[in-house]
Amino acid sequence: MKTAVSVAAPYCSEFKDPARAEAFLGRWVQQVEALNGCQYGRLTVPSLLGPTVVWTLNAEQTDWPAVVIFPGFRTVSLFWDLDNNLAPLKQKYRLFLIDVNGQPCLSHGATPAVKGDGYGHWAADLLRQLGLAKAHVLGASFGGLLALKLSQVAPELVDKVVLLNPGCLQSFSLGWRNLYYNLLPLLRPTMGHVLTFLDAAVFCPPHHQLSAPARQLLADFELFAIREYRDRTPKPYAMPPAELARVTAAVYLLVGEHDLLFPYQKSVAVARQHLRGLRGVQTFPHTGHGIETSREALMAVAALLE
């Protein structure tokens, strides 16, 4: 086993009231479990960035292939399973849903410089501590950047990489509609503004949307995170061609045609030009930035991993 490198963590985010946040997040997970009719395993791993919480399904099935999931910025990994959307993967895979350090979750808030290799070394050490010699790696938005960082520093741990509306192939869009809907809940954090943002930028109703209870759970989380989390985590960036060229794993790109944050045409063009391991691209009409909440997209992921 490789010896873990040290990771500098010059940034640290935190909840204003950690005890209140832990209570809220604990209740929120219980509500997701009740909605889905399941219970998640919880592991707390002493990672290179402090404690990292990992939610698991089928972890005891040690002969099943492993799937590691990295969520997007200001989200948690259980967003992927709202409305039981991970059902297509639950019958064949061990699932490890990572709550990323530096995000509003139960993991520690320490964060490395996002443009360096720190997150890659953190992810590699995490997989090794989980006992995963090799895993399929899924990443949405910011999680796509983390998936590629892992692939760069420890390609031996990575089987297939699936990027869903990744936040690393281009810069965050400065289009006025995108800025308006993203800034609205940040400047005036109310439930109404959060729901407006979700419906305009994350979903694409009526084609891409969650059930009413799941949508409310997601909105509850977002509003709490905006109001209660002191976010000092560096934001995603467009990886330059030389960095993308370091990715040697087989990569599959899934994009929504209504992604306001990272318009899909540019992401596809960059991937085709600079990801030498790119094996396929799928576009999903009537799908917003939150493609990881789309049952159709996650069914496509399951098919890719076969």
Question: 107: which 2 tokens?
Answer: 């993991």
Domain membership of residue 139 as a residue range: 11-305
The verdict on residue 1 lying in a domain is no
Distance CA 24, CA 15 (A): 11
The verdict on residue 4 lying in a domain is no
The verdict on residue 259 lying in a domain is yes
The verdict on residue 3 lying in a domain is no
The verdict on residue 265 lying in a domain is yes
User: What does the pLDDT profile of the chain (306 residues) look like in tens digits?
Assistant: 454 577 888 999 999 999 999 999 999 999 999 999 999 999 999 999 999 999 999 999 999 999 999 999 999 999 999 999 999 999 999 999 999 999 999 999 999 999 999 999 999 999 999 999 999 999 999 999 999 999 999 999 999 999 999 999 999 999 999 999 999 999 999 999 999 999 999 999 999 999 999 999 999 999 999 999 999 999 999 999 999 999 999 999 999 999 999 999 999 999 999 999 999 999 999 999 999 999 999 999 999 999
pTM more than 0.85: yes
Query: Total structural domains in the chain?
Result: 1
The verdict on residue 5 lying in a domain is no
Reduced to 3 states, what is the DSSP secondary structure of residue 87?
A: helix
The verdict on residue 96 lying in a domain is yes
CATH number, domain at 270?
Answer: 3.40.50.1820
Strands 135-140 and 278-284: what pairing? unpaired
Question: 162: which 2 tokens?
Answer: 């699936």
Handedness of CA 207, 180, 237, 215 (dihedral sign): negative
The verdict on residue 185 lying in a domain is yes
Question: 171: which 2 tokens?
Answer: 């810069």
SS (H, E, C) 51-76: EEEEEEECCCCCCCCEEEEECCCCCC
